[in-house]
Structure 1
Amino acid sequence: MAAVVARRSLFLVAAATPASAQRLTAEVWRDPQCGCCAGWVEHLRAEGFVVTDRVVPSVAPFRRMLGTPADLLSCHAARVGGWLAVEGHV
């Protein structure tokens, strides 16, 4: 009986591992003139995100692509996990 329970526990851990082992991606567009943006990218990396860091002359086209409302604009924008838009310091 203990072997059955142990196998079930092992199966549950194995089933959960791939989902928890996947690291979230973050695609960041940022202003080259801003001092905080590089720090924000490093913070994301330190928290385990796989970051694509895009230093661009203007973040505006990417904000439009992400659908960011004008009253929420900041110096950097990101798309997390391929779908969630994040603007500024969160």
Structure 2
Amino acid sequence: MKLKIALAAAAAVLVPVSLASMASVASDETVQVYKDANCGCCGGWIDHMRTSGFDVEATNLSYEALSAKKAEAGIADEHASCHTAFVGGYVIEGHVPAEDVRRLLSERPEAVGLTAPGMPAASPGMDMGSEPYDVLLAHGDGTTDVYARH
């Protein structure tokens, strides 16, 4: 009985701390986005991230500079999208949902980051359909694994 009481007390103390730290993941990390100035869907994704609690700073780049930024980050052409972001030491390529970014920052896997290759119609910022799409976890060796299905 004493063990049950002790466990319940420990849980009561730890749960609020865990929830508070989960909530702070979004606000403690600034998302640095690199995009084309004329891309409306990039703006839509930025709005999605801000609405989800992230601080976002956006920088407009030329097509050439943006392509170079993607290559430097280790994003292969087949995994590329219209904008590239950085947060918490990871690259976020394209229209990755905020919930996946939050999970990445919480789990901290050994990886380059996340990518939603191309421009999935149902993804945040695109918002043009219900086609399923995958978010991929990109590894340093160029391989990927499915991280989330939407």
TM-score range, shorter chain: 0.7 to 0.9
Displacement over 6 Å in runs of 4+ = 3-6
AA aligned to 1:50 is: D
Q: Give me the TM-score of the superposition, normalised by structure 1.
A: 0.73
Higher RCO, 1 vs 2 (CA within 8 Å, ≥6 residues apart): 1
Question: What is the distance in 1 between the residues matched to 2:93 and 2:11?
Answer: 41
User: Offset of 1:64 from its aligned partner?
Assistant: 1.7
1:30-53 C-alpha deviation (Å, 9 max, x unpaired): 111212111111111111112121
AA aligned to 1:88 is: G
Is the 1:66–1:79 Cα contact (8 Å) retained in structure 2? no
Question: What is the distance in 2 between the residues matched to 1:14 and 1:39?
Answer: 32
Q: What root-mean-square deviation, in Å, do the aligned CA atoms of Structure 1 and Structure 2 show?
A: 2.5
Question: What is the distance in 1 between the residues matched to 2:25 and 2:59?
Answer: 19
The reply to whether residue 65 of structure 1 matches residue 67 of structure 2 is no
User: Unaligned regions of 5+ residues in structure 2, if any?
Assistant: 97-150
Q: Give me the TM-score of the superposition, normalised by structure 2.
A: 0.48
The reply to whether residue 74 of structure 1 matches residue 78 of structure 2 is no
The reply to whether residue 21 of structure 1 matches residue 23 of structure 2 is yes
Aligned length: 89
1:52-87 C-alpha deviation (Å, 9 max, x unpaired): 21222231121122110011222201123222x222
